[in-house]
Structure 1
């Protein structure tokens, strides 16, 4: 099958939390024999700070976000058996979906892939004139980054024929155990961009434990934290390239995951970082959210905290031996149940079922 993705960026993770997700899914689809092209606009300096080269497993088309660029992208839509518009491109979102879905050839599948369902659904429910609402009944399928039954129900209520979560996962060729690096040494490390939907939770789950444990070293990576008032035992790194994530995960005693407020509220939305850390065999401490136990076993494969005090308590009671056992168990579980190979097989089955339904119709 020939599949077109229209998304934020495959080449760059700069202000683009979906990069690892896109790479894992598309690389696995390629391994299953599909030919995939990813169309990404030149925007936000992403391509200038790309952290991978154009890969052999996907055609990457970087286009200028103007009228001629959009016409050129739309002109190629008829080449594909499935045309996917992803959420959060960041520029010309409505124009891209209108152009590429309208230009798709008769019989081709039209899909929306939502990598931030809570934000998208909030916008759709608040604005009846949102162009995506008119498209939903005409699309073959909506795929989402996560969300479980609440997200599925809300999309169906808006007219979607079907909605299927495709959860984050592990690409074991990309994220795996690595040698520690002294510059990432810490008792607890957190990696995430500064976002309004997450900042208060980072303050609670990361900065509060740092203040409670002044004798421990804490490490903060990600964009946007410059100028933030930090405890003296928190070291700021700035953006960390995806090439360095394995060492970042393997060096500290533990790594923290903090969900965005909307993702935690919806539940069933494991962040990419959950599987990156597990794939590296590192010990993960995560904030609590509904559905977590469907992915990792609390206490054995992951440590779970309901607030900053419980993060501090978990860290104080954590020995290197126990951290290693938790990391090893998480890696084993993730390799068994949560790889992008498995996710790609799910996507393939959904696409084939949609095509079969088209043929019957």
Structure 2
């Protein structure tokens, strides 16, 4: 528990629905742990059709207040809430995120932060002039830039875009929600992820082609938005969606699970997916594509297996050592519990916000700036 409670407002993509996005599970783990440290959180979410109805799997969290708004103009109803908060965090991919960010920087009297769960994608967008949810002139106005990506990217955000403080805030996992389970192994290799054009060639190489070569083994791909023209081998099972509550069962039924990283994140490095932490927490051994910084998260060969080719995946799945998966899975879980839990991240978030508070607001509001 902390000595002084913080009131924090988060405007994120979604807390209520995990359908087709990893943001919800990231926010749920982080904010639940943050509240457990004695703080108060209100989450403001844009009410959109694709995250409502049957796709809304957490409509009323017990540990924070969740409020919905329909348009940017509706945030006027929450103006005092934003103004009175000790810290206000705007997330990546928030609809009309630039307009939302301008309002937050104008209204907030506490510190402001941008939480980028898509940092390499964001920077690639900015490089080509795409300001879907953040604009270059907004970055210096956020007191801290919380980045999904660590490594050299943090220096770039400060140097090129003028952030007063870029800090790594990786995804994490709630170990209580992702425990190891004893289940019958239904699949030799699984993959859990929404379709992405830049990930598909890697999925083809590291799962679909091995499935063709190993027809006696079983595979599964779970996630929405895959095109109908993909030809899946007969031994690859397909699910449109697996909700977070069912993730531990999914991982427990997998001899190995696959981690595939988006191209921009591979290029940047130091961009671990939330699925990596979740699978490892379940003690399911992970086969991953390769990117700089992965060794800072899990030790290759001991806590995770790396592969760049179909041949390597085939070799791993054909290995006669039946004890290897359990050894790797248990080692990975131990590493995750020590460094990558939601409580670890909540502690980091708290320190970054307090650091920003000590520095004071970096930039005046637009109204104050106009009055000078």
TM-score range, shorter chain: over 0.9
Cα offsets for 1:150-170 (capped at 9, x unmatched): 343244311111111111222
Counterpart CA distance in 2 for 1:129 and 1:144 is: 17
Give the TM-score normalised by structure 2. 0.90
The corresponding residue for 2:259 is: 257
Q: 1:231–1:155: structure 2 CA closer, same or farther, 3 Å change rule?
A: farther
For the 8 Å contact 2:282–2:333, the answer to whether it is kept is yes
Q: How does 1:72-111 map to 2 (within 5 A)?
A: 72-89=77-94, 91-105=95-109, 108-111=110-113
Q: How does 1:154-233 map to 2 (within 5 A)?
A: 154-180=157-183, 185-225=186-226, 227=228, 228-233=230-235
Counterpart CA distance in 2 for 1:257 and 1:122 is: 22
Q: 1:155–1:307: structure 2 CA closer, same or farther, 3 Å change rule?
A: farther
Task: Kindly tell me the number of residue pairs found equivalent between the two proteins.
Answer: 355
| Aligned-partner SS, 1:57 | coil
The corresponding residue for 1:13 is: 18
The corresponding residue for 1:37 is: 42
Q: CA deviation at 1:44?
A: 4.2
Q: CA deviation at 1:138?
A: 2.1
For the 8 Å contact 1:208–1:308, the answer to whether it is kept is yes
The corresponding residue for 1:122 is: 124
| Aligned-partner SS, 1:113 | strand
RMSD: 2.1
The corresponding residue for 2:153 is: 150
What are structure 1's unaligned runs of at least 5 residues? Answer: none
Give the TM-score normalised by structure 1. 0.93
Counterpart CA distance in 2 for 1:226 and 1:197 is: 13
The corresponding residue for 1:269 is: 271
For the 8 Å contact 2:121–2:265, the answer to whether it is kept is no
1:56 to 53, 62, 66: 62
Q: CA deviation at 1:196?
A: 2.1
Q: CA deviation at 1:326?
A: 1.1
Displacement over 6 Å in runs of 4+: 128-131
- Of 236-245 and 70-79, more deviation after overlay is shown by 70-79
1:331 to 330, 333, 337: 333
| Aligned-partner SS, 1:24 | helix
What are structure 2's unaligned runs of at least 5 residues? Answer: 1-5, 364-372
